[in-house]
């Protein structure tokens, strides 16, 4: 909790004398009239940071920020109890060289978020696993306060622990975050502070999207120095809070999105003292940006199982699907991915079986351009399905689950020998190959969270069964409950190593071939029919997932998903290349029923999009 502030007349600054660990502590400094005159735009000219030395002799460098008028703040969060010494460095003489001490009290906080066990998250202080379950509220900083409070209270009650939203809105009618590129609006950010802290007090992380789509960040801050100041300002204000960084909306829609995200991402990595998780929103997948070294978890906007399932097998990073579908529970639809409550639930569980953490959205609450945010949609069937999802996985060792493929008629996650989870999107028999142990058998209705335990346990190497009735979708859970209780005492976090799959590129071993296209020159924006044929029919190839990607390597924009499935049309977006004609690496990846991934590469030429007839 934040405690009352006291004033140190000797230093001319306000400090917090006893802040709980992992809570923000504000050191407030005031410029004199003379210093104010010397810095007519302090956002541009004042340099300020504090160095905090912990009782364990670790030093945090924390930037300060201008908070309007003569007021400056250095905001930091002590990471453990004890006395922290600090020293301030600034080009304002009255601030420079000030020293002091802050006492941090013990806290029950598990800490901030970090990546763990390759595909999962934990907390920095306790290494307690983190079951990410998000919501979307793009306008969370602008909506009516009563609606916002109702949203936070409802989402906390429903067990959400993330809400993602915009720091800056593109609409002129909204309260502006920046009056122009060199003048932040302190009132906006003070209101944003209050809302993030309100979320944090309910155990909810703010997933901060720094700017909207369609070149928004570059339009507001056309110069790198302006973007750099903006990022430093956000780190100074929000790194001491429970947050993650989510870049910009749909980075592919930016003129040079990869380069822009790399510059701001590397800056975040460099100056964020707490190293909060970093990613960016996307049209389909942000994975093309992983090689740039700043992003450490992947964000998705897709309900296509091929994209997530295949990338989960080859990427060594956590995956968060931020937009696999928005539920329409009465507010209406404006996009193809706005779906009814039942379809939303099916997508939720299918993306989970890909090994992704989910983010919810309802068309009445997510804050889209065409919909008002209304509290009456907070208690929707989709939100209840999310709570049922959270309750279910809280009973599992979710931080060790990986996609599992020795199953028929369903899609599965498992920690082999401990528990197996199978999603059946329709009624039917299911078979699961298991290690020969004794398992309790549970069935769960995803729509309600109702759990039915079979009276007889299962022991063997091949479970065969069917859901209790034919109503809706089901989840099968084979669980060694006693073993999990024992593991909770003997294993700190993970019990099994996770290895990266080696993709098979040997043409002789690839069980499929490309029938079409056979051409080697394509036009951006035009549909190119494709067809894939299996060369041999086996149990493993009875059902295949296919993913086409294309990358103009010389232009440095990263790859783009251009198609999925066995038959369809490839579409090459013009923005994937900056210079035409472009040499493009066209890659087809296929995954069989055993989770084995194969890859075929071709080099093709991409011509500029044809201009529309006048």
For residue 133, the domain's CATH number is 3.20.20.80
| Residue 384 pLDDT level (bands cut at 50, 70, 90) | very high
If you average pLDDT over each of 106-110, 136-140, 366-370, which comes out highest? 136-140
Whether residue 6 is predicted with pLDDT greater than 70 in this model: the reply is no
* Last-in-domain residue among 490, 524, 557: 490
Average pLDDT over residues 315-343: 96
Residues 184 and 312 in one domain: yes
Query: Which positions ≥6 away from 233 have C-beta within 8 Å?
Result: 43, 65, 184
Average pLDDT over residues 209-228: 97
Worst-scoring range by mean pLDDT, 296-300, 345-349, 472-476, 490-494?
490-494
pLDDT of residue 186: 97
Residues 256 and 321 in one domain: yes
Domain count, the chain: 4
| Residue 490 pLDDT level (bands cut at 50, 70, 90) | confident
Residues 366 and 275 in one domain: yes
CB 101 within 8 A of CB 121: no
CB 63 within 8 A of CB 272: no
Residues 519 and 472 in one domain: no
pLDDT of residue 11: 41
* Last-in-domain residue among 351, 368, 393: 393
Place of tokens 């993602």: 164
Residues 212 and 328 in one domain: yes
Residues 122 and 270 in one domain: yes
CATH for 482: 2.60.40
Residues 277 and 386 in one domain: yes
Which letter does DSSP use for residue 397 in this model? T
Average pLDDT over residues 216-237: 97
Residues 439 and 566 in one domain: no
Q: What's the half-sphere exposure (Cβ side, CA atoms, 13 Å) at 212?
A: 16
Whether residue 289 is predicted with pLDDT greater than 70 in this model: the reply is yes
Whether residue 8 is predicted with pLDDT greater than 60 in this model: the reply is no
Token pair belonging to 573: 């977006």
Work out the percent of the chain whose per-residue pLDDT is above 70.
97
Note the pLDDT tens digit of each residue in 554-590: 999 999 999 999 999 999 999 999 999 999 999 999 9
pLDDT of residue 288: 97
Does residue 593 lie within any of the structural domains?
yes
Does residue 614 lie within any of the structural domains?
no
Q: What is d(CA 604, CA 614) in angstroms, rounded to the nearest whole number?
A: 30
Residues 24 and 89 in one domain: yes
Query: 405: domain range?
Result: 399-490
| Residue 166 pLDDT level (bands cut at 50, 70, 90) | very high
Q: Which DSSP string do the residues of 416-482 spell out, in sequence order?
A: TTTEEEEEESSS--EEEEEEEEEEEEEEE-TTT--EEE-SS-EEEEEEEE--SSSSS-EEEEEE-HH
Whether residue 12 is predicted with pLDDT greater than 60 in this model: the reply is no
Whether residue 82 is predicted with pLDDT greater than 80 in this model: the reply is yes
Average pLDDT over residues 512-529: 95
Does residue 496 lie within any of the structural domains?
no
Note the pLDDT tens digit of each residue in 111-160: 999 999 999 999 999 999 999 999 999 999 999 999 999 999 999 999 99
Q: Is the peptide bond preceding residue 308 cis, with omega within 30 degrees of 0?
A: no
Whole-model pTM over 0.85:
yes
Q: What is d(CA 65, CA 46) in angstroms, rounded to the nearest whole number?
A: 9
DSSP E strands in 377-424: the ranges are: 402-404, 407-408, 411-415, 419-424
Burial zone of 410 (CB within 10 Å; 0-12 exposed, 13-18 middle, 19+ buried): buried
pLDDT of residue 13: 59
Does residue 502 lie within any of the structural domains?
no
Closest CA to 584 of 558, 613, 563, 547: 558
Average pLDDT over residues 475-504: 93
Does residue 206 lie within any of the structural domains?
yes
pLDDT of residue 264: 97
Residues 73 and 156 in one domain: no
Residues 408 and 380 in one domain: no
Residues 192 and 128 in one domain: yes
Please list the residues that pair with 516 across neighbouring strands: 531
* Last-in-domain residue among 363, 393, 423: 393
Average pLDDT over residues 405-420: 96
pLDDT of residue 14: 65
Token pair belonging to 113: 């978020």
Note the pLDDT tens digit of each residue in 428-450: 999 999 999 999 999 999 999 99
Worst-scoring range by mean pLDDT, 14-28, 258-272, 337-351, 451-465?
14-28
Q: Is 26 helix (H, G, I), strand (E, B) or coil?
A: strand
Q: What is d(CA 491, CA 509) in angstroms, rounded to the nearest whole number?
A: 39
């Amino acid at each position: 909790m934040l405690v009352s502030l006291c004033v140190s007349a000797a230093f001319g600054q306000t400090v917090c004398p006893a802040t709980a660990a992992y809570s923000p502590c504000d050191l407030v400094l005031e410029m004199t009239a003379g210093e104010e005159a010397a810095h007519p735009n302090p956002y541009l000219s004042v340099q300020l940071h504090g160095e905090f030395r912990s009782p364990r002799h670790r030093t945090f460098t924390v930037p300060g920020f201008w908070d309007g008028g003569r007021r400056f703040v250095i905001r930091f969060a002590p990471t453990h109890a004890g006395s922290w010494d600090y020293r301030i460095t600034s080009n304002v003489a009255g601030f420079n060289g000030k020293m002091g001490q802050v006492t941090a009290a013990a806290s029950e906080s598990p800490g901030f978020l970090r990546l763990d066990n390759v595909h999962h998250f934990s907390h920095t202080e306790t290494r307690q696993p983190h079951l990410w379950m998000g919501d979307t509220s793009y306008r969370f900083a602008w909506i009516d306060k009563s609606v916002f409070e109702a949203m936070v209270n409802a989402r906390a009650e429903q067990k959400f622990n993330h809400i993602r939203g915009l720091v800056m809105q593109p609409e002129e009618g909204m309260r502006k975050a920046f009056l122009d590129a060199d003048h932040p609006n302190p009132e906006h950010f003070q209101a944003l502070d209050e809302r993030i802290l309100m979320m944090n007090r309910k155990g909810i992380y703010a997933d901060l999207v720094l700017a909207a789509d369609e070149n928004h960040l570059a339009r507001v801050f056309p110069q790198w120095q302006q973007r750099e100041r903006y990022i430093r300002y956000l780190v100074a204000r929000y790194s001491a809070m429970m947050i993650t960084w989510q870049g910009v909306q749909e980075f592919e829609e930016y003129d040079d999105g990869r380069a822009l995200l790399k510059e701001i991402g590397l800056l975040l990595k460099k100056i964020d003292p707490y190293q909060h998780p970093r990613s960016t929103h996307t049209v389909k997948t942000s994975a093309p940006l992983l090689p740039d070294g700043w992003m450490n978890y992947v964000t998705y906007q897709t309900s296509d199982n091929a994209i997530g399932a295949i990338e989960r097998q080859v990427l060594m990073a956590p995956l968060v699907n931020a937009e696999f579908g928005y539920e329409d529970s009465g507010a209406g639809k404006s996009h193809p991915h706005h779906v009814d409550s039942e379809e939303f639930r099916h997508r939720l569980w299918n993306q989970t079986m890909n090994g992704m953490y989910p983010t919810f959205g309802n068309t009445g609450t997510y804050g889209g351009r065409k919909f008002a945010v209304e509290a009456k949609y907070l208690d929707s069937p989709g939100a209840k399905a999310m709570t049922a999802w959270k309750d279910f996985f809280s009973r599992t060792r979710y931080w060790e689950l990986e996609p599992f493929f020795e199953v028929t008629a369903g899609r599965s996650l498992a920690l082999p020998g401990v528990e197996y989870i199978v999603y059946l999107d329709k009624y039917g028999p299911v078979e699961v190959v298991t290690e020969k142990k004794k398992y309790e058998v549970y069935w769960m209705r995803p729509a309600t969270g109702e759990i039915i335990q079979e009276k007889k346990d299962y022991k063997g190497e091949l479970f065969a069964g069917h859901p209790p009735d034919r109503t809706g979708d089901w989840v099968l859970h084979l669980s060694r409950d006693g073993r999990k209780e024992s593991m909770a005492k003997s294993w700190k976090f993970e019990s099994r190593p996770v290895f990266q799959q080696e993709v098979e590129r040997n043409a002789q071993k690839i069980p499929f071939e490309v029938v079409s296209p056979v051409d080697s020159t394509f036009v951006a924006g035009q549909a190119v029919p494709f067809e894939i044929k299996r060369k041999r029919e086996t149990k493993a190839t009875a059902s295949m997932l296919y993913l086409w990607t294309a990358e103009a390597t010389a232009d440095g924009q990263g790859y783009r998903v251009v198609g999925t499935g066995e038959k369809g049309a490839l579409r090459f977006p013009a923005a994937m290349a900056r210079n035409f004609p472009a040499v493009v690496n066209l890659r087809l990846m296929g995954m069989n029923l055993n989770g084995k991934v194969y890859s075929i590469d071709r080099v093709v030429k991409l011509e500029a999009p044809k201009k529309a007839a006048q």
